[in-house]
Structures are given as C-alpha cells and as structure tokens.
Amino acid sequence: MTANPAVGTFRADEHGRHVFVDQRWCEIAGLSAAQAIGEGWVQAVSAGDRDRVLNTWREAVAAKNPFKCEYRIGRNARLVVSHASLASTQDGNRGYVGHLTDVAALCERQLELERSVEQLSATLDSMRDGILVLDRFGQQQTCNAKFLELWGFSTAQSLRADVLHKRIVERLKSPRDYLLRVAELDRLPDAESEDVLELIDGRTLILYSRPQRVNGRNNGRVWSFRDITEFKKTELKLAYRAYHDPLTGLPNRSLLEDRMAQAIAQANRGRKKVGVLFVDLDYFKKINDRLGHFAADRVLKDTAVRIGKCVREVDTVARIGGDEFVVLLTVVNQARDAGDVAAKILASLQMPFDDDARVSASIGITVSESGDETTETLLKRADFAMYYAKQCGRNRYRYYASKMSAAA
C-alpha cells in the first residue's frame, strides 16, 4: 500500500488485465478488489468518461507505452489521474505498475504529488475544471489557469474568499442562492456541495465544493468550476425539439397534453372552464398537389402565425398533425367565448396566402362543463365537432354535442 493516502496502487499483466489493487485504490474507486480484477476496474469510471478511458488504456497496452489519463470516478464524480508504466514483476514477468491519484485528496495534502511542483502545475493547468484552493482563513493556496480564465483574473494574484465571492456575485444572474450556499458552507465546514451557476454573460458553470483535509483535519476548501454552457445549450435544444413541431415551432401533442392537464386542474380549482378548438384545414391536400411541398409548408407556417394572433398569450396553439391544429383556451367564461375565437380564426384564413393559395378550416369546439373531463376526453369531443363542421359544409365551426359521440 502506498504511503500517500491520495494515491492507490494497481498492477496489471502485459495484456492490460488488472491482477491487483491495494486498499487505497479500492477506497478511491469505490470498488472491492474482486470487482476490480480484469477489466472490472472500469466500472468505477463515470459513464461520460468510460469509453475514452478504456480506449486509452487498451491503446497504451497494445503499444506497450506508459499510460496516463484524467477522468472522474465514483458516485460523486471525483476527479482522478491514473498513470502506469511497464515493469518486471518479482516472478520475472512483464506487466504494468501504476497509481490512481485522487486530485481532491491531493489538494487536501497541500497538492504534494510524487512529481515536482512544476509537474503538478502543468497537470492542474491541463484540466478542464477551474480549481481554487483556499485555506481555512480564506487565503488562496493555489489555483490553475482555467480558474483565472473562467473568472477574468489576469494573474494568480492573492485571492481572499471575500474577493472571490464578490467577483462571482457580480457575474451571477441570481446571486441569492449562491450567497446562501456560501453562508451554509461557512457554518458547516465539513459539508460538500454541487451547484449550477447561471452567469450574466450567458455561461453556465457547475460548482463543486469540498472541504480540504490534512491528516484528518479540516484545512480549508477546494472549489472546482466547470463550464457546461455548450452542454446546456445542446440539452435545451433537444428538450425544445422533443416538445415542439419542427416546421412551425408550435407546441406538439406532448406539450399540448401537458398544458391541457395543467389548465384543467387549475380550472377545476377555480370553478372555471377550459375551451378546446380542433382546427382542420379544408382540402389542404389540393394545395400540396397543386403548389408543391414547399409552398404547402409556407401555408402551414403562415396558418400557425395567423391562429396565434387570434388568441391570448396565456392560451396555447399546437400543431398535432399534417394540417391539424389545436387551440387551448385556458379560461373561458362561457361557450360563446370559444366561438368568438373560432370566428376570428376563420376570418384570418380568408386572406390569400403566398402563391395565391387560399385556405379555409373546419373547427370543432368543446368546453369543459362537469369538471370530470380529461385531456383525452376534450380532444375527442373537439375532434367529433370538427368532423361535424366538415359534414355541414366546411369553413365553419360547430360546438360538440353528446349526439356526435353516439353517432360515431
């Protein structure tokens, strides 16, 4: 077992299969020795880093090169650095002998690595995270280049905790939660935290904070900042695509049903009514056949805009099919209010579209009455009423009546 509690030792055969890990390695990785044997050790690597780490290890073994890799490990995604070199074992066989270094524990040991101070600085500066270590009096012990870049410090000047927090607060959209967290950590010096910071300039950072311990005693705090702005943008784009129609940008059926459920619940609590309009364009296939797909798409996008101008901001217009739209009126005082909206929609569609395309619509209307209606019930009723409007000659609206369900 290695003397440094921040470092665990492992051995692997010449084929890269782990044959031994010491107790400290197990503590860092969160695995038992039996679990780590062979390629079982990779279970400890965070999912986002796992393929990269395993591929790097296999490439090093295949080329009989030294191995070095930085990644996160365990449930708390703790940052580690693993390195290994080929060596002869006591029985004369060739294999890898390496170390797994817990970076946070490294900071707790005053950042004393096996390498020189220069090598440690280079390692820290190569990290994606901005690292700052303050002692228990709030004085800077060390920081890396990424930290200086993230927060706009030109040099590694001496940073007190109050200076650091002031710089962060100045750049946060909502500093209150951050200040509450700092106050909490001051009260609980042994606590750990993970927070998302939204900055005024549009960036998003994740802040990890852990106590720094030396020989079991609290010696300060380690702050780790990671820029996840691009990840957040991608996440938001994916979420938007999951709930919006790609052509018109309107909510899709999933988002509509969610908003309908909320509107129904709110209306029931306030003893109010919800209105649903099912809008189906008349003879739209003829437009598609005569003018082509792109012109038809322009008509659909223009239709979405025109319907949107007929409702309030609190209402929802959704596209749920090729030429089908649904309007959710979150609050209506009486059924006639929904009819007034339907009349506005029909009138808005009378003006010619691009390419001299002309469109009308059949609209079915239903209004919640009993308070027992569900999203599915209201959509079905509006759909029945829409088909009845088509049977009555199209280009008109009709209210749902129970006889429509019976006829269907």
Structure-block tokens of residue 119 = 């090598």
Structure-block tokens of residue 249 = 């940008």
**Alpha-carbon gap, residue 32 to 245, rounded angstroms:** 49
Task: Tell me which residue of 303, 282, 287 sits closest to 389, measured CA to CA.
Answer: 282
Active-site annotation holds for 177 = no
Task: Tell me which residue of 260, 259, 257, 237 sits closest to 249, measured CA to CA.
Answer: 237
Task: Tell me which residue of 394, 387, 347 sits closest to 365, measured CA to CA.
Answer: 387
The DSSP-derived string for 3-70 is SSTTEEEEEEETTS-EEEE-HHHHHHHT--HHHHTBTGGGGGB-HHHHHHHHHHHHHHHHHT--EEEE
Contacts (Cβ under 8 Å, ≥6 apart) of 176: none
Q: Do 296 and 302 contact (CB within 8 A), yes or no? A: no
Long-range CB contacts for residues 189-192, cutoff 8 Å, separation at least 24: 189/136, 189/218, 189/221, 190/218, 192/76
Token pair 């599915």 is found at 376
**Alpha-carbon gap, residue 396 to 400, rounded angstroms:** 13
Q: Do 315 and 330 contact (CB within 8 A), yes or no? A: yes
Catalytic residue, candidates 129, 227, 282, 323: 323
Q: What's the gap between Cα 317 and its chain centre?
A: 26
Catalytic annotation, residues: 323
